[in-house]
Chain A
C-alpha cells in the first residue's frame, strides 16, 4: 500500500513537471494548428486528476486498514527476493548485450536465470545454456537473417567466424 502511494505521488509530481516542460519546449499553437503541446497536455491534465483521485482512495483505504506505515522489513525482504535478483539480471543482460554479444550473453543468462529458478545441477545448466544459445542463434541469425549483436573485440571475431559456418 505504501509503495503504491509513493508510486502515485511520484506520478502526480511527474505529470505536473511534464505539463510545464512540454509547454516550454514546444512551439506555440497557431489559429489552424493545435500545436505540439496540445495533446500531451490534455493527457497530463487527465492523468494528474485521476492520480490525485487514486491517491485519495489509497489514503482513505490505508487509513481505514492501518497499513500505511513504513515497514523496513518489507523493503529489505524485497531486495533480497528472487524477483529483485531476476529484475537485476534482466537489466544487466539488456545493457551488456551490445558489448558481450548475443552468444555469450544468452549462454550466461540462461544458466544464471536457470539457477535462480531452482535448477541446481551444473551439468543441466551448462547444457541448457549452450543448446538454447545454439538453437536460437541458428534460427534467428541463420534462417531468419536477423543480425544479432556480435559484441566487441575477440567476441566479434568469434561471432564473425561462426557466421561463416552457418549453412543458410
Chain B
C-alpha cells in the first residue's frame, strides 16, 4: 500500500504530469458544471488530448477529468437548480434551497469538501482492496443487480414521505417512461404508437433538465412581482458569494453522513452498470431514513448535500476497481478510459495490476491529487458561476432555459430531445402544483431499464424459475434490506404515534 502510494505520487508529482492533472481538473470542473455535458461526455471530450500522452499519464489525466466533472455538476445544481451531471440531481434538493437563503457559498463548501472526502475514500478503497472488491462484484449477476436497482427504487418511499401515494405514482410514471422505446431484450417497440422518435426511448437528461430547470423558471415566472425592500435585501444576500467553507465543527456534525455516503458510493460504483447517479440517490435516501431530522431534508440542510456529493464522487473511484482489476468497465466513462488504454496498446485485464502496477499507482495518485486541488479549482469556478447570480432574473431566467435547451440538444444533436425537455418542464410545473414528486419520476426513469433487463435476464438464466431468482443469497439479503427500507417509515410512524399517546 505504502509502495503504491509512493509510486503514485512519483508519477503524478512530476511537473509535467501535475500540470496535466491540474488542467484536467479545471476542464473537468467546467465541463461538469455545464448542463447536459455528463461526466462520460467530459471524458470523451478530453480523449483526443490523451491520445498524445504516455498511457500511464493518459489514464491519470482522464481520471482527473472524470472526478472533477462529477464535482463540477454540483455547482450549477446548487446555484441554479440545473444538475450539471445526472448524479448531482439529489444535490439540488438541499443545495438550491440553501442558495435561495443566501447560503450558496456554504452549500458549495459542503459540496466540495464532501466530494473530495468521498473521492479520497474511494481512492484508498481502490488501492487497498481492488482485487478483492472486484471479485465480489463479479459475483453480482442479473438477479443481484436487479436487487440493487430495486434497492434504489425502495428509496421512493422516503423521497417525500408526506405524500407517499403521490410519490409512488411519480416513481411509477418514471418507470413507465423508461419502458417506452425498444424492449431491452427482444428489441420490439413498446408504447411507441409507431413514432420513430419514441422508438429510441425517453432520454433521462432532457426529462431531468426539464423537470428541474425549466419548471423552476416557470415557477419564478408566476412569482415575478414588484419586490419589497426585504426581498431585495434577501436577493442581494443570495447574489453575494463568499468562499464560505464551513468550519471543522460544522463538518464534524456531518462526519458520519460523509463516511456512510462514501462507503455507499464506493460499493455502488464498483457494481457494473450502477454508477454515480444511483449512488447519490441511494445515499441521499439512506441518510434521510436514518437521520434524526429527516423532516428537514429538502428544506436546505448540509446533510442532504453531503450525502449526495460524497456518494457520487466515491462512485467514480469505485468504477475504476473492475476496470483495473478485471478489465471490465463499470460505466460509460470507464469504458472510454479503457478505449484510450487499448488504443495505446495496453492489455487491459486481470494481469494488468500484477504485471504493470504503475497503472493502478497512476490512477491512485491522480485521484489523491485531483480530489485535493479540485476543492480550490471548484471554488474559483464557482465564484465565476456565482457572479451570474447577480444578473437580473429577467435575463437569467431565459438564459437558464436556453442552457437547458443546449444540454438537451447536445445529447443526440437533435431537437426531439429539446421538445421532450420543454414538455417535461411543463409537466414538472403541474407536478409541483399537484404536489407530485419530480425527483421520484427521475429516479424511476434512471432505474427502469436496469431493473427490467436484469430481472428478465435472471429469469432466463434460471430457466424460468422465479423462486430461484429471489432465493439467491446476495439477492435475498438485498431484497430483505429493500423490505426493511420500505416498511421502516411505517413502523417509525406507528412508534411515533404510540409515543405521542
Partner-B contacts on A (CB < 8 A): 3-4, 7, 11, 18, 21-22, 25-27, 31-40, 43-44, 46-47, 50-51, 53-54, 57, 81-83, 86-87, 90-91, 93-95, 97-98, 106, 109-110, 112-114, 116-119, 128, 132, 136, 140, 144-149
The 10 A-B pairs with the shortest beta carbon distances in the complex, nearest first, are: A113-B398, A119-B394, A94-B422, A117-B394, A36-B183, A39-B452, A86-B221, A40-B179, A98-B415, A110-B398
B483: chain A residues at CB < 8 Å are: none
Contact of B399 among A47, A116, A132, A149 (CB under 8 A): A132
A114: chain B residues at CB < 8 Å are: 394-395, 397-398
User: In the bound complex, what is the Cα–Cα distance between A35 and B415 (angstroms)?
Assistant: 32
A35: chain B residues at CB < 8 Å are: 186
Q: List B residues 239-279 near A (Cβ within 8 Å).
A: none
User: In the bound complex, what is the Cα–Cα distance between A82 and B222 (angstroms)?
Assistant: 6
Most chain A CB within 10 A, of B405, B426, B456, B463, is at B405
User: In the bound complex, what is the Cα–Cα distance between A99 and B415 (angstroms)?
Assistant: 10
Partner-A contacts on B (CB < 8 A): 31, 34, 37, 45, 165-166, 168-169, 172-173, 175-176, 179, 183, 185-186, 188-191, 214, 217-218, 220-222, 224, 392-395, 397-399, 401-403, 405-406, 409-410, 413, 415, 418-419, 421-423, 425-426, 429-430, 433-434, 451-452, 455-456, 459-460, 463-464
In the assembled complex, how far is the CB of residue B31 from the closest CB belonging to chain A, in whole angstroms? 8
User: In the bound complex, what is the Cα–Cα distance between A100 and B42 (angstroms)?
Assistant: 29
A25: chain B residues at CB < 8 Å are: 188-190
User: In the bound complex, what is the Cα–Cα distance between A25 and B34 (angstroms)?
Assistant: 40
In the assembled complex, how far is the CB of residue B460 from the closest CB belonging to chain A, in whole angstroms? 5
User: Across the interface, do A93 and B172 meet the contact criterion of CB distance under 8 Å?
Assistant: no
User: In the bound complex, what is the Cα–Cα distance between A145 and B41 (angstroms)?
Assistant: 12
Query: Which applies to chain A's interface (DSSP): helix, strand, loop or mixed?
Result: helix
A97: chain B residues at CB < 8 Å are: 405, 409, 415, 418
User: In the bound complex, what is the Cα–Cα distance between A11 and B456 (angstroms)?
Assistant: 27
B408 (CB) vs chain A CBs: closest residue:
A94
User: Across the interface, do A132 and B395 meet the contact criterion of CB distance under 8 Å?
Assistant: yes
User: Across the interface, do A118 and B394 meet the contact criterion of CB distance under 8 Å?
Assistant: yes
In the assembled complex, how far is the CB of residue A65 from the closest CB belonging to chain B, in whole angstroms? 15
User: Across the interface, do B190 and A26 meet the contact criterion of CB distance under 8 Å?
Assistant: yes
B37: chain A residues at CB < 8 Å are: 144
User: In the bound complex, what is the Cα–Cα distance between A54 and B168 (angstroms)?
Assistant: 11
If A22-B191, A149-B409 touch, whether A87 touches B218 (CB-CB below 8 Å) is yes
If A40-B190, A94-B405, A94-B419 touch, whether A82 touches B224 (CB-CB below 8 Å) is yes
User: Across the interface, do A149 and B397 meet the contact criterion of CB distance under 8 Å?
Assistant: no
Query: Could you list 15 examples of A-B contacts with CB < 8 Å?
Result: A27-B186, A27-B188, A38-B456, A39-B179, A82-B222, A83-B218, A86-B217, A90-B214, A114-B398, A117-B397, A117-B398, A119-B394, A136-B402, A136-B406, A146-B410
User: In the bound complex, what is the Cα–Cα distance between A50 and B437 (angstroms)?
Assistant: 14
User: In the bound complex, what is the Cα–Cα distance between A146 and B188 (angstroms)?
Assistant: 32
Contact of B221 among A32, A46, A116 (CB under 8 A): A116
User: Across the interface, do B224 and A43 meet the contact criterion of CB distance under 8 Å?
Assistant: no
Query: Which applies to chain B's interface (DSSP): helix, strand, loop or mixed?
Result: helix
User: Across the interface, do A3 and B434 meet the contact criterion of CB distance under 8 Å?
Assistant: yes
Contact of A21 among B191, B224, B464 (CB under 8 A): B191
A97 (CB) vs chain B CBs: closest residue:
B415
User: Across the interface, do A47 and B176 meet the contact criterion of CB distance under 8 Å?
Assistant: yes
B404 (CB) vs chain A CBs: closest residue:
A90
User: Across the interface, do B190 and A109 meet the contact criterion of CB distance under 8 Å?
Assistant: no
User: In the bound complex, what is the Cα–Cα distance between A147 and B166 (angstroms)?
Assistant: 39
Contact of A22 among B190, B224, B401 (CB under 8 A): B190
A83 (CB) vs chain B CBs: closest residue:
B222
User: Across the interface, do B415 and A32 meet the contact criterion of CB distance under 8 Å?
Assistant: no
In the assembled complex, how far is the CB of residue B274 from the closest CB belonging to chain A, in whole angstroms? 19
In the assembled complex, how far is the CB of residue A23 from the closest CB belonging to chain B, in whole angstroms? 11
B413 (CB) vs chain A CBs: closest residue:
A147
User: In the bound complex, what is the Cα–Cα distance between A113 and B188 (angstroms)?
Assistant: 42
User: Across the interface, do B421 and A94 meet the contact criterion of CB distance under 8 Å?
Assistant: yes
If A40-B176, A132-B395, A144-B45 touch, whether A109 touches B402 (CB-CB below 8 Å) is yes
Contact of B395 among A7, A91, A119, A146 (CB under 8 A): A119
A53: chain B residues at CB < 8 Å are: 165
User: In the bound complex, what is the Cα–Cα distance between A34 and B465 (angstroms)?
Assistant: 11
User: In the bound complex, what is the Cα–Cα distance between A63 and B391 (angstroms)?
Assistant: 46
If A26-B188, A40-B191, A83-B218 touch, whether A7 touches B410 (CB-CB below 8 Å) is no
User: In the bound complex, what is the Cα–Cα distance between A97 and B425 (angstroms)?
Assistant: 17
B403: chain A residues at CB < 8 Å are: 136
User: In the bound complex, what is the Cα–Cα distance between A25 and B186 (angstroms)?
Assistant: 13
User: In the bound complex, what is the Cα–Cα distance between A43 and B37 (angstroms)?
Assistant: 31
User: Across the interface, do A90 and B394 meet the contact criterion of CB distance under 8 Å?
Assistant: no
User: Across the interface, do B425 and A90 meet the contact criterion of CB distance under 8 Å?
Assistant: yes
User: In the bound complex, what is the Cα–Cα distance between A86 and B394 (angstroms)?
Assistant: 12
If A22-B190, A33-B459, A109-B401 touch, whether A149 touches B415 (CB-CB below 8 Å) is yes
Contact of B34 among A4, A51, A132, A144 (CB under 8 A): A144
In the assembled complex, how far is the CB of residue B224 from the closest CB belonging to chain A, in whole angstroms? 5
User: Across the interface, do A50 and B172 meet the contact criterion of CB distance under 8 Å?
Assistant: yes
A44: chain B residues at CB < 8 Å are: 176
User: In the bound complex, what is the Cα–Cα distance between A90 and B405 (angstroms)?
Assistant: 10
Most chain A CB within 10 A, of B165, B191, B217, B399, is at B399
